Structure 1
């Protein structure tokens, strides 16, 4: 299906509407492509028997009385079987984006929303053609250098999803408990995407005060508000054509959710203090440990924003759900952190390995990392033993008298701070809440956390 390196680039447009085919033929011909067209999957397959093309751009519905997309899905699957190296893009209306995601799961490389923006149409096609013609377009093998360690079938399936979504422009929502590695996976998606030559910009929304949300994301001009002593570019501008990672998404108030939604819908924004309109060109990856659907039901999160951000939603499993990965990850931390502490030859005892596997890891890989680091610090031999782990895995005593909820919450916060030596990150992990949530509770109860440092 591939042309030789000196041949022109051929694109096959498949759509039952002649006006769509005519428009695409004109637009793509203007960019130097040779454009062929077909009004149905059957006609397209006949054409492909005798003609080599580089890319197929296809609609998902070919009859006026159907919107299921089954014809398109069947066509994409057939192309994958007959021409596995052929780049396939699907066209879909915004309301049927989930259908496009199904198409990507069975072989389509990306999707284009109708009605399209011409510049976006050109960019997606050019990007996918570049990927398909590159000898290095396949994803790099996952190894210890990127910090993603796994051998479980569960995580293997997750990485296969990520490999597919990385090559698209789709927004991604990563969900899962604290410490499961959502930020690491977000960075991996960026690194293995066509945008990897552009910046990866991360912003923790839980740490952004509500009144500074617009300034943080959109930027501001000097004098726009008290304290704005100079111009400042926002995170969207900093990301450029790269990736903007919105961590702790669910902590955003509904007022600021509306502002974010407006930008995602229009792809346009203004800096505070400026009337100039800027174009948003970055991809959005977001992450949360909250149950978004529950927040939607309680009117704490906008449903329309949720659907703008979760074109592809990927749940990252907790460490206790993939026990096969615990020892490989622990070994990775033992080797890398051991070198930092000039203890490169450390090993785990058998009892220690059994304990690591049996522990529920409520803080997930982040808790595991801190545990291994503590063990390395306190080890005085080349073997990590049980007493080096310092895990407090004893069952909770149920014989204590009932106390007011606020009193119990304060006591748990103090206990976590004591156990973590005042480290907010570790304390939040032990309690199973976000850093911002812990800070709010510390302020609520008037806990002087610094005295535990």
Structure 2
């Protein structure tokens, strides 16, 4: 399909916006239908075969929250799951647009938009539908984030949207999923890419080191302070500061961090003069979101400050389609590193990899493949060349089994909701029940 064959529905309660988009798109596409009343979306979708819907996030009402756009987005995707939906939003509502991406939107446009951007977006969506192409990697400095699964395509799309902004990002995911690579990718694709990228493992810092490392100190501030030293905030000025394992810092450290982020300035130890800072903040943690929501462990005001947008990095067990791609990627790297000839892969080799749960995620896969490349004598990697870590396998056996039907059903619902990023329609379909039935179960289990 080419752009000339595309039918587009534009839904917005601003007549000027409707007319502007119709005039822009009419010469380029097969048909443009404009709709001022969102209540007529059902009629339009039922009586036409649209390829793309351009949907405003806010409609005139008592309160404009953007939830109207999310509501109608879900309605459209229920009626026609394959249709592409582009959301229109204000710059201040980018986090809401990101939520729209989670709910199934294909892209979003920020007001005021450039006409060239709209046309480019439409061409990209049309080409993607025609070729069925998926992005297989994104650059993160010297490394690549490799993947073509639906879960990783969702991550790539989100990175494409948030990287050029200065929004603070919270990266969530299990150990070994590649959160540090995601942070680097955001920086490398941002407007600050030519400025410093500074990483700090804050979870390993004691209270005294936390302040001196992050905020710096003046000569004589404490016994071993023999000269002035800039903290990591100052070192990252103009660039990106990446705070890894943010979920492990104490409540006292959280207060100090919150003060700096609110005031956008740091005061080095031993000094009374505040130093202004200009940084883009990225944080990461392997702690579950429900634990971060516990105010006894983590301050909510700090969560709101660091989590303008969240990126959830999927575990490898949810990326089975990526295992072959990742394996070839790592094997090529290690064959070159250890001066070995290129390897071919026995079908049983990949099959054995796909059956392993990989509790250590991509990091475990990487080490398993490096070991296989080192130890094998031939140029064909076979199932016997794979030796999985006993440590990782034992750590995966700590789940407590249950035979209680309610517990099993509740856990199944939680797992499917997490897999589908909270999307009710997808989850209900996967569970084999209606949306109404799923809502009743969510209420029953207080989810």
Q: Which has the larger displacement, 362-371 or 259-268?
A: 259-268
Taking the TM superposition and a 5 Å limit, the aligned residue runs for 1:193-208 are 193-208=190-205
CA distance in 2 between partners of 1:109 and 1:271 (Å): 41
Residue 201 to residue 302, structure 1, CA distance change in 2 (3 Å): same
* Match of residue 137 from structure 2: 142
Which of 283, 286, 290 is the aligned partner of 2:287? 290
Counterpart-to-counterpart distance in 2, 1:110 and 1:226: 53
Secondary structure of 1:201's aligned partner: strand
Distance 1:252 1:356 in 2: 36
Equivalent residue number for residue 417 of structure 1: none
| CA displacement at 1:388 relative to structure 2 | 2.5
Report the CA distance shift for 1:307/1:375 in structure 2 as closer, same or farther (over 3 A): same
On the 8 A contact 1:174/1:285 being kept in 2, the answer is: yes
Deviation at 1:159, TM superposition (A): 0.8
Picking from 291, 314, 317, the partner of 1:317 is 314
Matched, 1:332 2:326: no
Q: Per the alignment, do residues 195 and 338 of structure 1 end up closer, same or farther by CA in structure 2, a change over 3 Å counting?
A: same
Work out the CA distance in 1 between the residues paired with 2:328 and 2:251. Answer: 43
Quick check: 2:91–2:110 contact (8 Å CA) kept in 1?
A: no
CA distance in 2, matches of 1:348, 1:265: 53
Alignment partner of 1:253 out of 250, 253, 261? 250
Contact kept? 2:192, 2:240, Cα under 8 Å: yes
Tell me, in whole angstroms, the C-alpha distance in 1 between the residues paired with 2:292 and 2:221.
Answer: 33
Q: How far apart are 1:346 and its partner, in Å? A: 2.0
Indicate which of 178, 182, 188 corresponds to 1:181. 178
TM-score by length of 1: 0.61
Residue of structure 1 in register with 2:354 after alignment: 357
2:345 corresponds in structure 1 to 348
Q: CA deviation at 1:44?
A: 6.2
1:307 to 1:110, Cα distance in 2 relative to 1, 3 A = farther
1:109 and 1:167 in contact (8 A); partners too: no
CA contact 1:172–1:312 (8 Å) conserved in 2: yes
Matched, 1:306 2:303: yes
Query: Are positions 1:369 and 2:392 aligned together?
Result: no
Q: For the structure 1 residues 274 and 107, does the alpha-carbon distance in structure 2 shift closer, same or farther, using more than 3 Å as the test?
A: farther
1:236 to 229, 233, 236: 233
The 2-side partners of 1:110 and 1:49 are apart by 18
Q: Residues 135-161 of structure 1, C-alpha deviation per residue, up to 9 Å, x if partnerless?
A: 9xx9x9836874211121221112111
Corresponding position: 1:165 with 2:153: no
- Helix, strand or coil: the match of 2:146? coil
RMSD: 3.8
Aligned position for 2:90: 90
Distance 1:43 1:297 in 2: 46
1:60 & 1:159 partners in 2: Cα distance? 22
Given the superposition, is the C-alpha separation of residues 294 and 325 from structure 1 closer, same or farther in structure 2, using an over 3 Å criterion?
A: same
Kindly indicate whether the alpha-carbon contact (under 8 Å) linking 2:138 and 2:156 is maintained by their aligned counterparts in 1: no
Report if aligned partners of 2:254, 2:302 keep a CA contact under 8 Å in 1: yes
Structure 2: 5+ residue runs without aligned partners?
1-12, 25-55, 72-87, 125-134, 396-447
Question: 1:152 corresponds to which residue?
Answer: 149
Partners in 2 of 1:345 and 1:50 — Cα distance? 55
- Of 175-184 and 194-203, more deviation after overlay is shown by 194-203
Identify unmatched segments of 5+ residues in structure 1.
1-39, 52-58, 75-87, 112-124, 398-453
Distance 1:389 1:195, change over 3 A: same
Normalising by structure 2, what TM-score? 0.62
SS of structure 1 residue aligned to 2:310? strand
| Matching residue of 2:412 | none
Q: Are the equivalent residues in 2 in contact too, given 1:220–1:231 (CA < 8 A)?
A: yes
Aligned residues: 319
Tell me how far apart the structure 1 counterparts of residues 301 and 321 of structure 2 sit (CA, whole Å).
38
Question: Helix, strand or coil: the match of 1:391?
Answer: coil
Runs of 4+ in 1 over 3 A off after TM superposition: 40-51, 59-65, 69-74, 96-111, 140-146, 392-397
Structure 2: how far apart are the matches of 1:72 and 1:378? 56
* Partner residue of 1:227 out of 207, 224, 228: 224
Contact between 1:292 and 1:301, CA under 8 Å: does it hold in 2? no
1-side partners of 2:242 and 2:70: how far apart? 31
Change (3 A) 1:199 1:377: same
In structure 1, how many angstroms separate the alpha carbons of the residues matched to 2:253 and 2:16? 49
Determine the C-alpha separation between the residues in 2 that align with 1:350 and 1:50: 55
* 2-structure distance, mates of 1:45, 1:315: 35
Change beyond 3 A, Cα 1:50–1:327: closer
